[in-house]
Structure 1
Amino acid sequence: MHKKQKNYIYYIIISIILITFFLNFLLVNFERNAENGNIDNIANAYWYMIVTLTTVGYGDFYPVTALGRAIGYLYVLSSLGFLGFLISNLTNKIMEFMEKKKLGYFGTSFTNHIVIIGWNEFGKQVAEQIVRADHSVAVVTNDKANIDLILNSFSKKNIFPFFSDYENFENLKKANINQAFSVFLNFNDDTENLVYLLNFKKHYKNVRLIAALNNFNLRDTFLSAGAAYAVSKVNIISKLVASYIFEPDAAKITEDIMTTSTEEGDFDMQEYKVIEKNPYLNKNCLEVFTDMKIKFNCVLLALSRKNDNGERIVLKNPSKETKIKMNDYIILISDGKSKESIIEAFGVKEGRF
C-alpha cells in the first residue's frame, strides 16, 4: 500500500472518530436534562449510535427532544449505508478468501507428493496415473483457466492446483516443494524445460527432477544439468508402436501394465520398498516368486538395489539364489484387487515414496 493511500485511510478513520464524538456529545447535551430523557452520558450515546447503525434497535435508549431526534434520524439514514457497506465488504472478503484458496495462495500440507510444473493434456494424463495410485499431486500453472479444469478433473483430496508465475521460485514453497518426492517439468519445449531446470536447481538443489523430452538426443544434457531422469516421449511411443506392428499382443500387455491398476483383471507393473515388516526379507527369489504367486497372484519381475558405489541397479529376472535385502525394491506385476493385500503385507505404498 502506498504512503498516500495509508494517509488517506488514517484521515478517514480520524474524521469518523471526531464526527461521531461531536454528534454524541451534542446528543447527550440535548437529552440529558429533558423530561423522560434516558441518554444522559456519552456511553449511552455511543450505545444508541451502535445499535441504530447496525439496525439492531433494542429500544433501551432513544432520543426524546427534537434536536436529539434530528441526530437520531441521521443515524437511522446512515444505518442503511452502513449495513450495506458491512454486507458488501463481508461478501467481498469471503469471495476474495475463496478465490485465493482456489488459486492455492494459502499453500498445501502435502508431503512426499509429486509437483507438476506446467499443465497440458500430457500432464493431465501423468497426474491421472499418479492419483490412481493414491498419491498426491500439486500442479503449478501460470494460466488461471487451468485451475477450474484441474479441480473439475480430480478429487481435492489428491490434487492441489496453484496459480503462479513460473519464474517466481520463492512462490513454489507454497506447493511445499521442499517436502515433495519429485518434481516433473512439463513444458512443451525442450529448451524451455532445460532453461527452467538450470534456474530451478539454483534455488532447490536437493529436489528430485524429472523431465519429459521431445528430443531423445538431449537426454544426457538434462542429466548433466541435474535431472534425475529425462524421458523421451517419442522414444517410448516409437517402441510401443513398433511392438504393435509385429507383436501386437505383447504390445497390448506392455501398454496395460504401464497404467495404474485399480480393479481385478486390470494389471500393472509396481514397485515396493522392502522394509523390516516385509515377509520376504532375506528370502531367496525362487521362494518369493512361488509364494507371491500363490498368496497374491502376482509375478516377481525384478529387484532394484544399490551397488557398492551407491548407484541403484535393476536385477531383471533375478536368479533363484538371489536374496531380498533391506531397502531393495521389489518390482512385480499385479492386478488392482491384489494390490490392496500386497500393500498391507509389505507395509508400504506402491512407488518410491
Structure 2
Amino acid sequence: MIIEQFKHFYFRLPVPARLIITILSITLLFGTIIHLIEPEQFPTVFDGIWWAIVTGSTVGYGDYVPLSTTGRIIGMLLILSGGGVITFYIAMFSAYTVKHEEDLSDGKVAYHGTDHIVIVGWNERTKKLVELIRRHDKKIDIILIDQTLQHISYQQIPVHFIHGDATDDFILQKANIPEASRIVITADSSKNEKQADHFTILATVATRGNNKSVPIVVEILSANQIENALRAGANTILRPNDFMSSLLFHEIYKTKSKPFESIIQLLANNQFHQFALPQEFEKKSFIHVMTKIKEKDYLLIGIIREDNWRLNPPADFQLEKGDILVTIEAW
C-alpha cells in the first residue's frame, strides 16, 4: 500500500523533480553501501556520498577510491547507472528549458506576478502603448491577452503573452487579473464597430468579475455603447473615432502655415481620459469641477452629454448626472 502511494506521488511530479529525487536516492544508496563495504577507505556516510556524486558525474577527483573487488564492482555499477541518469537529467533539463521558452512565446504560460498592466488586444495602438509604458517605467510587467496572435517573441516585444479569449475567466486567471494594477481593453479593428464594442463590453464584465477595484480603461467605437461600457464596470472610456474625425476635419481645412500640426504634436504627448461624473460633482459648475480635477493632475477640457460633445463650456455651466468628463492627463 505504501509503495503504491509513493509510486502515485512520484509519477505525478514534474520530470525535473523526479530526476533530482532519483539522483539523490542513487548517491545516498551507493554512498551508504561503499561506506559499509570499505569503512577504512570511506570513514563516514558523507564521504561515501561525496564519492558517489563525483564518480556518478564522471568528474573523478580521485580523493576517495575503492580498493576491494567488491568496492570496484559497486563503483562500476554507479558509473553505469548514475552517469546515465545524470546525463539524462542534463538533457531533460535542457529540453525543459527550451520547451518553456516556446510555451512563453506561444502564450501558454500563466503569469504569477503582481502590480502589472494587462492589455487586451494586439494592434498598432497597443504596440505604441507598450513602447510608451516601457519608456515611462521599464520595471513594470506588461501582460498581453490576444486570441489572434499565435506567437510573439519577448526579445522583440517585451510583454508576457497570454493566448486566449479575454472574456474567458480561465484566460483572465492566467493573466493574474486579481493582482493587476490596471487593465486596458482595446477595440478589435478586425471586427465591425458593433461587434468590436460588444466584445469590449463583455471583456469588461469578465474582468470586473475577477477584480472589483482595478481601474479598467476601454476603447469604445460607438457613442451609444458608452453607457453599456460604464455599466459593465469601465472606469475610463476612450473614443478614438471622434478624435480622429476632428483631426481629419482640421487637416482638410488647415491653413497654409499648418498651425494645427503643432497642436497634434502637443496632444500626442498627453493622455486623454473619459470619466463618468462623480456624484459629488453633480449640480456643480464646470470651473469648480475643473479646479478639483486639476488637483489630481487632470485637465478638464469638456463634457459629453447625451452623445453631444461640449468642449470648453462657460465657467458657470452646470454639470448633471450622466455627464462624461473629458480630461487630459499630462505625461
Q: Which range moves more in the overlay, 234-243 or 99-108?
A: 99-108
Partner residue in 2 for 1:227 = 234
Taking the aligned partners of 1:187 and 1:79, their CA distance within structure 2 comes to 55
- The 3 A distance-change label for structure 1 pair 331 and 56 is same
SS at match of 1:141: strand
Taking the aligned partners of 1:18 and 1:237, their CA distance within structure 2 comes to 69
Partner residue in 2 for 1:299 = none
User: In the alignment, does 2:258 pair up with 1:309?
Assistant: no
User: In the alignment, does 2:146 pair up with 1:139?
Assistant: no
Q: 2:224 aligns with which of 208, 217, 221?
A: 217
Q: 1:65 aligns with which of 55, 64, 68?
A: 68
Partner residue in 1 for 2:127 = 124
Taking the aligned partners of 1:128 and 1:191, their CA distance within structure 2 comes to 28
Q: Which range moves more in the overlay, 244-253 or 189-198?
A: 244-253
SS at match of 2:119: strand
TM-aligned CA deviation for residue 221 of structure 1: 2.5
TM-aligned CA deviation for residue 193 of structure 1: 0.8
- The 3 A distance-change label for structure 1 pair 147 and 4 is farther
User: In the alignment, does 2:261 pair up with 1:252?
Assistant: yes
Please say if residues 214 and 232 of structure 1, whose CA atoms lie closer than 8 Å, have aligned partners that are also in contact: yes
Match for 2:266: what amino acid? Answer: I
TM-aligned CA deviation for residue 132 of structure 1: 4.7
Partner residue in 1 for 2:160 = 161
TM-aligned CA deviation for residue 196 of structure 1: 1.3
User: In the alignment, does 2:208 pair up with 1:201?
Assistant: yes
Q: 1:236 aligns with which of 222, 234, 243?
A: 243
TM-aligned CA deviation for residue 97 of structure 1: 6.7
What do the CA deviations read for 1:138-171 (whole angstroms, capped 9, x no partner)?
23224675542x65245xxxxx434254323333
- The 3 A distance-change label for structure 1 pair 252 and 26 is closer
Please say if residues 30 and 49 of structure 2, whose CA atoms lie closer than 8 Å, have aligned partners that are also in contact: no
- The 3 A distance-change label for structure 1 pair 38 and 254 is same
Structure 1: unaligned runs, 5 residues or longer: 155-159, 261-267, 272-303, 333-349
Please say if residues 226 and 237 of structure 2, whose CA atoms lie closer than 8 Å, have aligned partners that are also in contact: yes
TM-aligned CA deviation for residue 81 of structure 1: 1.2
Please say if residues 34 and 48 of structure 2, whose CA atoms lie closer than 8 Å, have aligned partners that are also in contact: no
TM-aligned CA deviation for residue 53 of structure 1: 0.8
Please say if residues 212 and 232 of structure 1, whose CA atoms lie closer than 8 Å, have aligned partners that are also in contact: yes
TM-score, with length taken from structure 2: 0.61
User: In the alignment, does 2:151 pair up with 1:183?
Assistant: no
User: In the alignment, does 2:318 pair up with 1:327?
Assistant: no
- The 3 A distance-change label for structure 1 pair 84 and 229 is same
- The 3 A distance-change label for structure 1 pair 197 and 257 is same
Match for 1:309: what amino acid? Answer: E
SS at match of 2:219: strand
Taking the aligned partners of 1:52 and 1:312, their CA distance within structure 2 comes to 84
- Backbone CA RMSD of aligned residues: 4.9
Taking the aligned partners of 1:80 and 1:18, their CA distance within structure 2 comes to 10
Match for 1:139: what amino acid? Answer: I
- The 3 A distance-change label for structure 1 pair 255 and 72 is same
Partner residue in 2 for 1:82 = 85
Structure 2: unaligned runs, 5 residues or longer: 190-195, 301-327
Please say if residues 31 and 51 of structure 2, whose CA atoms lie closer than 8 Å, have aligned partners that are also in contact: no
What do the CA deviations read for 1:185-221 (whole angstroms, capped 9, x no partner)?
4444221111111222222232222221233332232
TM-aligned CA deviation for residue 117 of structure 1: 1.7
Please say if residues 307 and 313 of structure 1, whose CA atoms lie closer than 8 Å, have aligned partners that are also in contact: no
TM-aligned CA deviation for residue 308 of structure 1: 8.3
Please say if residues 146 and 163 of structure 2, whose CA atoms lie closer than 8 Å, have aligned partners that are also in contact: yes
- The 3 A distance-change label for structure 1 pair 312 and 247 is farther
Taking the aligned partners of 1:176 and 1:19, their CA distance within structure 2 comes to 43
TM-aligned CA deviation for residue 244 of structure 1: 0.9
Partner residue in 1 for 2:312 = none
Tell which structure's C-alpha radius of gyration is larger: 1
TM-aligned CA deviation for residue 105 of structure 1: 4.2
Match for 1:231: what amino acid? Answer: L
SS at match of 2:242: helix
SS at match of 2:262: helix
What do the CA deviations read for 1:276-333 (whole angstroms, capped 9, x no partner)?
xxxxxxxxxxxxxxxxxxxxxxxxxxxx9x9983369995xx79xx98998254649x
